[in-house]
Amino acid sequence: MNFFKVSSVDETKDIIDEYFHLEVEGEQVDIFNCVNRIAFDYIRADCNIPEFKRSTVDGFAVNSRDVFGATEAIPAILTLKGEILMGKVTDFNIVDGECAYVPTGGMLPEYADSVIMLEYTQKLDEDTILVYSPVASGDNVIQKGEDIQNDNIVIRKGEKIRPYEVGVLASIGIKHVNVCKKIKVGIISTGNELIACEDELTLGKIRDINTYMLWAAIIDDGAEPINYGIVKDDYKLLKHTICRATEECDILVISGGSSVGKKDQTIKAIEDFEDGKILVHGVSVKPGKPTIVAKKGDKIIFGLPGHPLACSIVYIIFIREYINKAMCYKKEVYAVKSIMSINYHKAKGREEYLPVALENDGDRIIAKPIFGKSGLISTFSRAWGYIKIEKDLEGLREGQVVEIYKL
């Protein structure tokens, strides 16, 4: 029996960077299908937004000099030149002592530099407006190009396109967007004890959790999962499935079969390929120690522990990061500072990821560890996030300020 030669998390990441350089191609998609996709190129505006001076209120377009010093006692008296219609180009200009009615979003005449709100005006007659308050140049006006200027970068390469960026794309008239092609991630679950979630549960069997959990995580990360089903503890069948999956996918994830038990065939199946090689077998992380990183040709293979909690942690640490890096996506992760509710001891020398729930206590946020064995899926489902405890630490103290990362 071969035992683990354990690598640290950082050493494992360095090995992945050394051996694998996945290059993702771009594809053009309709604007309605680009949300949560990663921009493949820098996207620049080819126009100004807005293309003209616009009012932000209902009121009268004026030149600020004409209402300087206006008060309720001594109002400015202006001649009403006309009304500006929405969606229409202004066909008249105002001069000294004149104003024009303008609705919210309407285009200002050339001479006007500000808009006085209706609340500070009174219509004396059909042609005369009294103004009871001064305005500064630019008040209640969006200038030409103030929102977006022509040739400005509006979306950067590697940026995830959210609904708000979709709005920006629509504003500059972009109907089709060049995004990163979805990385194909194959999923294999191994074990004689596994059955599909819809199958009847009999004594000694367990429903496959990891396939469905990984499927959802891969979709959430903007990649395309491909399910190769449950493979029993059969060497030939597993080797055949690995061969097929590595031909069809960019990444292969094998759940289960990564420990050193006699029935675990994953290591043997990979090593028996002419171009197969085990790069890492065992990572100093809790949970998730029996993790495999391997290669077949230029394709990366991750062997994840069968226990759902450990499987989830290893996915977060390595696979999500690999997917993001391949698409040049730098996900911003912000920690929530909280107060540790109890003393927590851990073994020194191993990085640990501790699931926690959060509770409000006045103006403090309390972190409460959720304890459970790595085979329990409910541990993560009850957690808001996790604490990353560095390998050199022996634990956390009650009352200590800790950083919680959202799951």
> Which of 326, 358, 377 is the C-terminal boundary of a domain?
326
Question: Is residue 398 within 8 Å of residue 338, measured between CB atoms?
Answer: no
**Domain check: are 193 and 304 in the same one?**
yes
**Strand ranges in 299-373 using DSSP code E only, listed in sequence order:** 299-304, 336-340, 344-345, 351-361, 364-369
331 is a domain residue:
no
262: left (phi over 0), alpha (psi -120 to 50) or beta: alpha
What CATH number corresponds to the domain at position 67? 2.170.190.11
Omega before 50 within 30 of 0, i.e. cis: yes
**Domain check: are 155 and 187 in the same one?**
no
So what's the pLDDT on residue 229? 94
111 is a domain residue:
yes
Longest dimension (CA), the chain: 99
1 is a domain residue:
no
Average pLDDT over residues 284-309: 93
For every residue of 289-312, DSSP letters joined together read: -S-EEEEETTEEEEEE-SSHHHHH
Instruction: Check residues 296 and 5 and name the one with the higher pLDDT.
Output: 296
Per the structure, the count of domains in the chain is: 4
Average pLDDT over residues 238-265: 84
pLDDT above 90 for 234: no
How distant is the alpha carbon of residue 285 from its chain centre? Answer: 25
**Domain check: are 134 and 161 in the same one?**
no
**Domain check: are 186 and 320 in the same one?**
yes
What CATH number corresponds to the domain at position 163? 3.90.105.10
What CATH number corresponds to the domain at position 397? 2.40.340.10
End-to-end CA distance of the chain: 36
Any idea what DSSP says for residue 117? E
Place of tokens 């090995």: 15
**Domain check: are 136 and 158 in the same one?**
no
**Domain check: are 161 and 192 in the same one?**
no
**257: pLDDT confidence band, cut at 50, 70 and 90?**
low
Number of other residues whose CB lies within 10 A of the CB of residue 208: 23
285 is a domain residue:
yes
Question: Is residue 266 within 8 Å of residue 303, measured between CB atoms?
Answer: yes
**Domain check: are 125 and 104 in the same one?**
yes
Average pLDDT over residues 101-110: 95
Closest CA relative to residue 251, chosen from 320, 303, 209, 301: 301
Q: Are strands 194-195 and 206-207 parallel, antiparallel or unpaired?
A: parallel
Average pLDDT over residues 98-103: 97
2 is a domain residue:
no
List helix spans (H) across 105-209: 163-171
Which sign does the torsion angle of CA 390, 393, 395, 398 carry? negative
Average pLDDT over residues 2-23: 89
Residue 49 phi/psi, 5-degree rounding, is: -125, 115
For every residue of 136-154, DSSP letters joined together read: -TTTTEEPTTSSB-TT-EE
So what's the pLDDT on residue 261? 58
Average pLDDT over residues 16-42: 96
Q: What residues does 206 pair with on adjacent strands?
A: 194
The residue type at 154: V
What CATH number corresponds to the domain at position 296? 3.40.980.10
**Domain check: are 273 and 292 in the same one?**
yes
Stated as kind and residue range, the H or E segment containing 266 is helix 266-271
**Domain check: are 174 and 33 in the same one?**
yes
pLDDT above 90 for 57: yes
**Domain check: are 162 and 41 in the same one?**
yes
**What pLDDT, in 10s, does the model give residues 107-156?**
999 899 999 999 999 999 999 999 999 999 999 999 999 999 999 999 99
Lowest mean pLDDT among 176-190, 192-206, 387-401: 192-206
Number of other residues whose CB lies within 10 A of the CB of residue 95: 11
**Domain check: are 97 and 20 in the same one?**
no
Number of other residues whose CB lies within 10 A of the CB of residue 47: 14
Q: Which domain holds residue 390?
A: 336-406
**Domain check: are 172 and 267 in the same one?**
no
Structure tokens at 5: 């030669």
How distant is the alpha carbon of residue 401 from its chain centre? Answer: 26
